[in-house]
Structure 1
Amino acid sequence: MIPNRILVIQTAFIGDVILTTSIVENLKAKFPNAQIDFLLRKGNEQLFENNPHVANLLIWDKKNDKLKNLIKVIKLVRKNKYDLLINLQRYLSTGLFSFFSKARYKVGYSQNPLSFSYNEKIPHVMSSGQHDIERNNQLIRSFTEDKAAKPKLYPTEAHYEKVKSYKTDKFITIAPASVWFTKQFPKSKWIEFLDQFQFDGNIYFVGAPGDSTLCNEIIEAASKEKCINLCGKMSLLESAALMQDAEMNYVNDSAPQHICSALNAPVTTIFCSTIPEFGFGPLSTNSRVVQTDKQLDCRPCGLHGYKNCPKGHFDCALSIDVTELNLV
């Protein structure tokens, strides 16, 4: 089958959407004349600014009138009558998009409650050593027969121009926050890292507006000069344009890690409660993973992390030697 219109569905968080761009890269390489649309949650659409491979974005507002907007997007998907629909999620809501789509050929994970409506379904297996882009690529392998492409973002000249003034001296970035507490390297450990870190360039803290307070607390407590809080002052693609040229980007197992992978930016990822074997590790050429060397029966405690350490000790993070983060 040579599809003319393709829909890719991924309504999860920023990092998941970035990794899904791997699918888009492979599809466009195989079907250069196809129109590729992408269905995602409201708030993530800026990731596709300037992406030459995505024609249209279908945006589901999940925060306001979720059900009403779900039905609205279902109707739009149904009206478009896609030749090929690829659903990368295992939840009922996205299964509804597929079920009512009128797409000629539908592919998704077998764990989706509505997978019986797929023409092709693939088991989603969290196997050791398989990265998420490889796992997702199985959904299109029967069409492309290719290895998984690297995820990719496309900052514009305007994005690079916006951050140009921050690149006059060597610099690193730190993205200290995470949606999940147990994925987040503790504030005390960031301070400890900075206090012993020998680096005479600029240190930029990046993140969302809500991360600004955390970053200010780290900066104020650390005995380090040239720390600058940029949280909330840049868009996602502006942050990507900045991180691309850093000496190193220090991140948690979260979205900034995947931004680095999509720009092949240097990255050091700190894994606390989660583990690289889940398949969400860094993909950059210059990438490192830092994690505890302490044997903990409770690690990993979950795929996504928790709001608090289930055991109360948070040893998976607190036992990490901060000198492991130093530039090599």
Structure 2
Amino acid sequence: MWELGVDPAPLLREAGLSPQVLANSEQLISGVAAMRLLERSAAATGCVTLGLRMAEKRSLASLGAISLMVTHASSLRLALAALTEFRNRVNSTLMLQIEEGDGVVVVRENFVFSTPEPLRQGSDLALGVLVRLCADVLGENWAPLAVCFSHEAPPVREMSIFPRLFRCRPEFDSQFDGIVIDARDLDRANSRADSDLASHARKLIEAVRYADLQTTQQRIEQLIVLLLPTGRATIRTCAESLGVTIRTLQRKLDAEGVGFNELLNRVRMQLATQYLANPCVRVTDVADLLGYGSIGAFTRWHTQSFGASPKKLRARYPDRFRPGHSVRAPR
């Protein structure tokens, strides 16, 4: 921030954060506060690639104890599995989806918040860290086949960071945020692997895991994201996936003060905001991705949830989602 000519202290205070909190890699902070801080910082500095610049300067040690598990995993597959298993120790709002097929692997990123939030800087930061993590396991000369961004390309003057950080040509206005890699990279041996160090790190993390076990709510949010495009994001399917009855799942959610329909709507609102902000994704495709059988049903839900039809709200997204502009959930 200082090198961009902006004092970060006022922005931290505005977000309710302190420099001392950020200095502790094991200290978890509010995901919403972090996301809004990134957007406000991008607006204050006028740097639309701020998240990528942060990723470029960030070391894997900032992941805390889990960095040892990742760095010394015997393969990238196991490193990503560890990152997914212990995501509550890194970022509980960020979900990774790994899809294999036709000789390639797509690693997608999805954020889940209780209210729709602008995601550009946070998503860019997470993508940059993900690629650096992969390179740490596979070697400095490794590069993904492609890196995909759902947002538009930045100004030409800010494009130089992409080849430095990703070593491949970026694809903008994509239908998802994530990377595409060679399927063989998943199981290629990590020359730096140390099973003793990885095992030691796991024991350290599991020793305190009781404090941050994944909640039922978080597990259901993950399932909803995965099941929505199939049209099977129902409480019955989620209960079956967890191996419990519908009544048991309802009791667990009730104990956490949330209902299934509330979670379903929350995830849909975040994803709808994300998809519709990309002008290359048709409204009909968004309806399919959110599990609606017809454009009419999707439009009625969207109008009720956001107070406007998808097409009308999409026209306002460039202003609503400029860096630093906050979004409030409809009441």
Is the pair's TM-score, using the shorter chain for normalization, greater than 0.5? no
TM-score (norm 1): 0.26
TM-score (norm 2): 0.25
Structure with greater contact order relative to length (CA < 8 Å, sep ≥ 6): 2
